[in-house]
Amino acid sequence: MSEAAYQRLWDSSHLILEELLDQEPLLGEAVSERERQSFQYRLSSLYLYYLGLLRRFDTLYDQMVQPQKRRLLRRLLDSVACRVLELKDDLVRADLCETHCLDQVLQDLKLTPADLEVPIPKYFELERSSILKEREHVLTELLSRLKPEISEGSFPILSRTEAIMLLQKAERARQGRLRATFMREIRKEEERDRKIWEEGRFKFSQDEAAITIQKVWKGYLQRKRTQQDRRTEMEFIGMLPSASPAEPRGTWSQASLGADVRRLRQAEKEEEFQLAVVKARDHLREVEGPDMKEKMKEQIRQWFIECHALTGRFPDYPDESLGGSSLIFADKTPEQVRMELEVQVQENKKKEQEKSKEKEKEEKEKKKKGEKTKKGEADMMLRALPSKSIPAINAGHKEYMNLWKNRFDSLFPSQSFDSETLKMEERKEVEQEIRIQVDDLMRQELKNLRLAVDREETRPVKLPKKKAGKKPGKKKKEKDLTPDRPMDSLFEELVVLGLLKKSETVPLKDYIGDCLYLGSALNLANKLPMPSLADIRQNMALYGILRLGSPDIHAMAPLIRSILLVGPSGMGKKMLVKAVCTETGANFFDLSPENLQGKYPGKTGGQMLVHVVFKVARYLQPSVIWIGNAEKTFYKRVPKEEEEMDPKRIKKDLTKALRLLSPGDRVMLIGTTDRPQVAEMKGLCRTYERILLLPRPDYASRYVLWRHMIEAQGVQGTQHLDISALAKVSDGYTAGCILQAIQAVLTERRLLQLSKRPLLTSEFLGPLAKLDPVYREEEESLKDWYFKTPLGKKRMKLLKDQDAAEEAKLAKEKKKK
């Protein structure tokens, strides 16, 4: 795509954004419980539109070359990502569920299931590539020191003669096996020739033999043509994979090469822009700086004179924390100053009157009998929470409309920067620098004027008083238990102890699974739809990757400190944790109870362990702290065989450390468990803010898993391999079981035989039958546990209320009839 095409994409994106901003005020209006479905529908449609915008802005920021446009696009990209997270939070509160059935909304908006995928901004990986390489180099160096050298006694020592004799034996055995195979084939061929001779080889005449050969050959050709036509038809309707995927791959590689070239141009233009910024700032300081300074001084002196003439005394100079002289740079007349002072006095009086009236109203309302019912009705009202990202989106949209909407590519033929816009931006910064210098000079001048004219000393500036009311809870500062130790030594200590590990590279797209296509239909039938693997993948992208990937997104988005993944073994819980680390470049800390055994012993060892891990995690953010078998940390009763391990020793310190995490601390705790029933419900739900249930895969996900995993081994689908039958037969098996069955069948030897012996469906049944599926009792126990969590209880209560309302409606209709 050319720069003009990206500009058109940007223009169309802002048209959509303008429509969405017009719809935003409607979400702030309170909605009754009866309109819950329409409220959910509005939230869902906005959520999908913002996901599309996030995808567009990610493409634009990744491929646009002009540096000033890219700065605006970055702000818009982060703001839209934050808005997506806010809408997701509103959807959870409205739906009382972590996953949502958006198939009906997709159909109404004429979108595809691919539009549900959460795009991960490419700059998460590209902008941190150098830092990740350095960290990987340091980790490999530390781990190489720790690797024990291979002991000489681990392998038997052979002399040269013994080694040669061993190789000779192996080679002779190999040659013997080959000779035996060759002789077997010769004997079979001789036996075949003998049988043909005995049955009568020459019983056909020459013409009859030619006709027979023609029949066989024509039949063979026709069958081959029919098979080819059928395969072409099946490929056309999408029932079989394409036999020649070489052309799309070549096109794709060419497109990716073009994208890489544009990224190189981005780096060149960014260097030019940085040099131009330095030059422009120096030029403004030298040329316009003195005039700015004198103009500011004159304006402030004029303000002194006008205020003295109006009030009879010189004013207090604004404090630097309040903005300094920027408050008086609006060219106000003395009458405007006086009016502002009077308005402020009137506003203060009004506020006091309103407070007294509110107190009287509250006292009257408390005396009324229907206070409880009114509170209950107010609680049942639905509305979206105030957004932190909408002001930033509005500001970015206005900047686009003012600066870039009517600009054409002819103004920037080489995609360089706009010098006039650059001067405007740098002029503001230079003015700010000069203003601070002028403030220091004018404060001293005001002091001298007071001594000379009014003969009074400088009065202290009164800062505005804080509003009376409830004092916000002060954030407790964590005591630093290691103040004397440098961060490098703590980092090395965690690596040596195995608490900070090198995470495997697992992209999130490798977590294969399809979405739920009949969620809305199940809801209408009063059946509770379970989340699909695609829902889990999207939730991990929203809760983990988008928040940890950018400090700006993390600071604005609703704060989530911890996630718990609950599901049977083999569902890919640890794979999701590794995917979060891979996509965000996060450090991987392992606080599993098995990994903590024997580390930091003693009474205060647990406290020191948690403190050091969280201290290093904050310093090296983004960071992921993983706890495998998370139920062991919150055991109801510790088993005897695990008492020595003491799995509960970090329980209290872990919850305290999590509370100290604030917006901007890109540290996330992710726990995984397959037996949450043995843990204390309160402690587990207090520690983990989001609980995601991973049920066994449905038919659509199993079909995608079988097809993708078989193709990953280099095997193309054929008519002999029925993927649909495999997906049906493997009901109840997890993705891990399916992978084990495929690996057991598709060995190196079997892959070499594919050209002679095609792959059959029945070959996978034996290995699959040897594995244990997820039994219905195990799945039901996990569901029952999930519906005892706070969000699960609310969901069940909502379903019961809806059923009761439907029954009441039916009863009324029967009475009318």
Residue 201 included in any domain:
no
Nearest by Cα to 675 from 600, 793, 572, 567? 567
Please indicate, yes or no, whether residues 812 and 761 belong to a single structural domain of this protein: no
List, in order, residues 6 or more apart from 670 with CB less than 8 Å away: 544, 562, 563, 564, 565, 577, 580, 624, 625, 626, 627
pLDDT at res. 152: 43
Query: Which DSSP helix (H) or strand (E) runs through 623?
Result: strand 623-628
Please indicate, yes or no, whether residues 666 and 704 belong to a single structural domain of this protein: no
Signed CA dihedral, 228, 231, 233, 236: sign only: negative
Please indicate, yes or no, whether residues 518 and 589 belong to a single structural domain of this protein: yes
Contact present, 33 and 21 (Cβ < 8 Å): no
Stretches where the chain sits below pLDDT 70 are 1, 146-155, 200-203, 241-253, 255, 321-323, 327-351, 355-380, 407-415, 454-478, 526, 817
Domain that holds residue 54: 3-123+387-407
Nearest by Cα to 115 from 123, 124, 128, 105? 105
Query: pLDDT digit string (tens) for 345-367?
Result: 566 666 677 766 666 666 665 55
Contact present, 16 and 57 (Cβ < 8 Å): no
Contact present, 650 and 681 (Cβ < 8 Å): no
Contact present, 429 and 436 (Cβ < 8 Å): no
**What backbone torsions phi and psi does residue 550 show, to the nearest 5 degrees?**
-135, 130
Nearest by Cα to 647 from 616, 615, 673? 673
* 166 token code pair: 């061993």
CA distance 682 to 685: 5
pLDDT at res. 473: 46
Please indicate, yes or no, whether residues 267 and 312 belong to a single structural domain of this protein: yes
Question: For the packed helices 289-311 and 419-449, what is the interaxial angle rounded to 10 degrees?
Answer: 40
User: Tell me, what amino acid is at 553?
Assistant: I
Please indicate, yes or no, whether residues 496 and 439 belong to a single structural domain of this protein: no
Residue 766 included in any domain:
yes
The DSSP bridge partners found for residue 627 are 671
Residue 594 included in any domain:
yes
Nearest by Cα to 297 from 264, 325, 276? 325
Give the full edge-to-edge strand order of the sheet including 623-628.
500-501, 587-590, 623-628, 667-673, 562-566, 690-693
pTM summary value: 0.80
Three-state secondary-structure class, residue 501: strand
Residue 163 included in any domain:
no
User: Tell me, what amino acid is at 678?
Assistant: V
Please indicate, yes or no, whether residues 682 and 548 belong to a single structural domain of this protein: yes
* 21 token code pair: 């901003």
The DSSP bridge partners found for residue 671 are 564, 627
CA distance 548 to 544: 6
**What backbone torsions phi and psi does residue 580 show, to the nearest 5 degrees?**
-65, -45
Query: CATH number, domain at 623?
Result: 3.40.50.300
> By CB neighbour count within 10 A (0-12 exposed, 13-18 middle, 19+ buried), where does 188 fall?
exposed
Please indicate, yes or no, whether residues 751 and 653 belong to a single structural domain of this protein: no
Contact present, 573 and 501 (Cβ < 8 Å): no
Three-state secondary-structure class, residue 588: strand
Please indicate, yes or no, whether residues 651 and 678 belong to a single structural domain of this protein: yes
Place of tokens 């809806």: 802
Domain end marker among 677, 693, 709: 693
Contact present, 650 and 601 (Cβ < 8 Å): no
Please indicate, yes or no, whether residues 537 and 600 belong to a single structural domain of this protein: yes
Please indicate, yes or no, whether residues 525 and 639 belong to a single structural domain of this protein: yes
Signed CA dihedral, 343, 346, 351, 357: sign only: negative
Q: Output the CA–CA distances (angstroms, integers) from residue 271 to 2, 47, 102, 278, 759, in the order listed.
A: 22, 37, 45, 11, 56
Residue 214 included in any domain:
no
Neighbours of 734 (CB within 10 A): 25
Q: Output the CA–CA distances (angstroms, integers) from residue 367 to 360, 363, 374, 376, in the order listed.
A: 11, 7, 13, 17
Nearest by Cα to 482 from 619, 389, 351? 619
Q: CA Rg, the chain, in Å?
A: 36
Signed CA dihedral, 430, 436, 439, 441: sign only: negative
Contact present, 701 and 741 (Cβ < 8 Å): no
Residue 250 included in any domain:
no
Neighbours of 599 (CB within 10 A): 13
DSSP 230-272: HHHHHHHTTSS--S-THHHHHHHHHHHHHHHHHHHHHHHHHHH
Domain end marker among 454, 478, 512: 454
Peptide bond into 622 cis (omega under 30): yes
Contact present, 624 and 577 (Cβ < 8 Å): yes
Query: pLDDT digit string (tens) for 1-12?
Result: 677 788 888 889
CA distance 669 to 616: 14
Residue 149 included in any domain:
no
Query: Which DSSP helix (H) or strand (E) runs through 506?
Result: none
Residue 569 included in any domain:
yes
* 794 token code pair: 């609310």
Q: Where would I find the beta strands (DSSP E) of 641-743? A: 667-673, 690-693
Query: CATH number, domain at 712?
Result: 1.10.8
* 204 token code pair: 């056909």
pLDDT at res. 150: 38
Strand 587-590 and strand 500-501: the pairing is: antiparallel
Please indicate, yes or no, whether residues 681 and 706 belong to a single structural domain of this protein: no
Q: How many domains does the chain have?
A: 5
Please indicate, yes or no, whether residues 676 and 721 belong to a single structural domain of this protein: no
